Amino acid sequence: MLKLSSQLVLALLLFTLLPSPLLFSTSASAQVMPAPGPFGGKVNAIVSNGEFLFAATETGDVYASKDNGARWQATNIGNNHLEILSLAADGTTMYAGTRNGGIFRTSDNGASWKQLISPREVIGKNITALRMIGKQLFVGTDIEGLMVLKGNELIPRNEGIISTSIQSIMADGGAIYVATGDGPARSRDGGKTWQMILNDLPELNWGHTVIRANGKLFTAGSKGAFTSADGGDSWNGFIQAQIGEGYCEMWQSGSVMVAELRQSGAWISSDAGTTWKQMENAPADIVDLTTHRGQLVAAATTGIYRSSDKGQTWQPQMNGVTATAVNDLVEFGEMVFAATENGVYSTAKGDARWQRLPAGPDRWVRSVGKHNGAVYAGMNYGGIQRTTDNGASWIPLSGGFPEDKQVSQLVSNGSKLYAVTWGGLFVTADDGETWKNIPIGEQASTVMTALLVNGDTLWAAISGEGIFTSTDAGTRWKRTTKGLPEGADINQLAWQGNTLYAIVRTFPSFGRVSDQLYTFNPATTSWRKAPGGPAKGEELLCLISAGSQLVVATSNGLYSSSTPGKPFKAITSEVTSGRCGVLVGDGVWFGTSWGGVRGVRF
């Protein structure tokens, strides 16, 4: 009797379970392109300067508005989308401080920007605060303290300051005040020397801000809010009798002050801190405050809001601000859902806008999936939630699922829903009511990076360990790493017809990554580099099967190949840094890192 090797048996079995090309045939429906957006995202700073409003975002853009925030447009700051942490105005000149990217300046309302410090000087420096005092730009950083900008150099000004974490800078008469990681400090010689002004303040009081209003100083931080009537020589906690105790952040715009406490919420004072009133409808997690054309404008972790009634009610003002990364997309009937760093959004096909769903996950949603008539959302931290009414209400799902693990992918297959997490692979057969961990080999809790399912065949990628294959729904696994670089990460898997592709990431040196497409040969159960992939050095972000084509989204654009094993060609589109994609009609919608959702027809 002819005996087959176990390797050949596995190869033949895998080949019989390869998907039919018909599984990827596209609908003949009309082209449907996504609405602009979704709008919103974390805004770190907001400044009014003349007729313009400027907003600094987490995704590395400075947005400008000339119509009181009704519409926003990204300015061309050219900082490779490093997060913008701070803004400052000086006449017609604006300054922007970045995370690990230095300081930029514009004198034409954002039409052009100039980097003021060489890249070597800014490594490790996060510019957390900026303030023009006289003719000097004072610069606060998170780890190197206070500095002043002279020419293209940052000169330290930390004599007398204990903590090198600076959160805010304020000038009042002949004194300068800063909020540090150890509380407030004061300088009376133009910032040359400093005195920590901590009398009567609690110990270990991390400082958020120092404000001058109505002849008094206010400071807020991790131990609450305090006031001083003698320039900071002594402090008292009388304000806490009105707004409460505990961690407090505070902002000022003219005579209006806003305080936000973790325990008692947001408070507003319209008389420079004399009396306070709780804001019932305040934006969640305010980050900054300004006044523009007589109205309050707040920056928050969810976007930009405006109040025309002194803070009693707030309206979102985010049209044009795509300041949230879109991590995943799913088509569900006539709806498309987007998982973002700013919660879950939805839009109806052909609709003119995206809607942020107020119920359910509020931030850091990593994945969305559909299964058995419901939509599921997986969080960065917080488990999985389910909606059966298009997002109007959500149900948290526990039942054995770890809430402290990032859920990076949700895959539906028949009666089962799989969850790919940074703590292993989980499956449910009862719509998420109970979950079971599926050990991969001998590893029950491991960082998974990708999953592809076809019937009972599972392809599972583990960080640094390669790819494992199961042909019995996860009962037994076999390592399938022949031909892959040792220690590589597999970031995504996708079929093109009967050919399986993988994005393979290696780490040639500290801080550097190298991405390459690989294909799997079932006859030899081995992997090899795909010919003619995207340009060397491009970051490969996602793979999408679109009919007969396989599309690769990279940090710079899109590439496609219509025939397995043939070279990929660049596609002309507006999509850059596409993180995910979904087929909608005869096109593909791509979720990007900072440009919202963009559509391409194939």
pLDDT digits (tens, 9 = 90+) for 174-204: 999 999 999 999 999 999 999 999 999 998 8
Same domain, yes or no: 311 and 383: no
Same domain, yes or no: 347 and 466: yes
Residue appearing with tokens 């001058």: 212
Picking from 110-124, 213-227, 339-353, which range would have the lowest pLDDT averaged per residue? 110-124
Buried b (16+ CB within 10 A) or exposed e, 182-208: bbbbbbeebbeebebbbeebeeebbbb
Report yes or no on 563 lying in a domain.
no
Select from 496, 529, 562 the last residue of a domain.
Answer: 529
Report yes or no on 174 lying in a domain.
no
Report yes or no on 193 lying in a domain.
no
Mean pLDDT of the chain: 90
Same domain, yes or no: 53 and 91: yes
Other CB atoms within 10 Å distance of the CB of residue 323: 32
Residue 83 has pLDDT above 90, yes or no: yes
Alpha carbon distance 62, 58 (integer Å) = 9
Residue 13 has pLDDT above 50, yes or no: no
CA distances to 397, 398, 461 from 422, in Å: 17, 16, 11
Which pLDDT belongs to residue 31? 53
Residue 15 has pLDDT above 50, yes or no: no
Which pLDDT belongs to residue 546? 87
pLDDT in tens, 443-454: 778 899 999 998
**Dihedral, CA of residue 395, residue 397, residue 399 and residue 402, to nearest 10:** -150
Which pLDDT belongs to residue 17? 39
Residue 51 has pLDDT above 80, yes or no: yes
pLDDT band at 340 (very low <50, low <70, confident <90, very high): very high
Its domain, for residue 48, covers 39-130+294-321
Same domain, yes or no: 441 and 310: no
Q: What domain count does the chain have?
A: 2
pTM, two decimals, is 0.88
pLDDT band at 29 (very low <50, low <70, confident <90, very high): very low
Instruction: Give φ, ψ of 214 to 5 degrees.
Output: 55, 40
Report yes or no on 374 lying in a domain.
yes
Average pLDDT over residues 436-463: 90
Which pLDDT belongs to residue 19? 43
Same domain, yes or no: 10 and 49: no
- H/E stretch holding 16: helix 6-16
Bridge partners for 413 per DSSP: 416
pLDDT in tens, 481-511: 999 999 999 999 999 989 999 999 999 888 7
Alpha carbon distance 225, 210 (integer Å) = 10
Residue 371 has pLDDT above 90, yes or no: yes
Alpha carbon distance 7, 399 (integer Å) = 38
Report yes or no on 103 lying in a domain.
yes
pLDDT band at 119 (very low <50, low <70, confident <90, very high): low
Average pLDDT over residues 96-102: 91
Average pLDDT over residues 545-566: 90
Tell me the Cα Rg of the chain.
27
Same domain, yes or no: 454 and 470: yes
Same domain, yes or no: 303 and 339: no
pLDDT in tens, 200-226: 999 888 899 999 998 999 999 999 999
Same domain, yes or no: 16 and 73: no
Burial of 564 (0-12, 13-18, 19+ CB in 10 A): middle
Which pLDDT belongs to residue 585? 87
Residue appearing with tokens 């048996």: 9
Same domain, yes or no: 343 and 473: yes
Report yes or no on 395 lying in a domain.
yes
pLDDT band at 81 (very low <50, low <70, confident <90, very high): confident
Provide the token pair at 73. Answer: 């447009």
Select from 474, 494, 529 the last residue of a domain.
Answer: 529
Picking from 119-123, 205-209, 429-433, 465-469, which range would have the lowest pLDDT averaged per residue? 119-123
Picking from 11-15, 244-248, 397-401, 554-558, which range would have the lowest pLDDT averaged per residue? 11-15
Report yes or no on 190 lying in a domain.
no
In the chain, % of residues over pLDDT 90: 75
Which pLDDT belongs to residue 28? 32
3-state helix, strand, coil in the chain (%, to 5): 5, 50, 45
Q: Is the bond into 38 cis (omega within 30 degrees of 0)?
A: yes
Same domain, yes or no: 309 and 329: no
Average pLDDT over residues 298-312: 94
Same domain, yes or no: 421 and 341: yes
What's the CATH number where 337 sits? 2.130.10.10
Same domain, yes or no: 307 and 344: no
Report yes or no on 69 lying in a domain.
yes
Residue 246 has pLDDT above 50, yes or no: yes
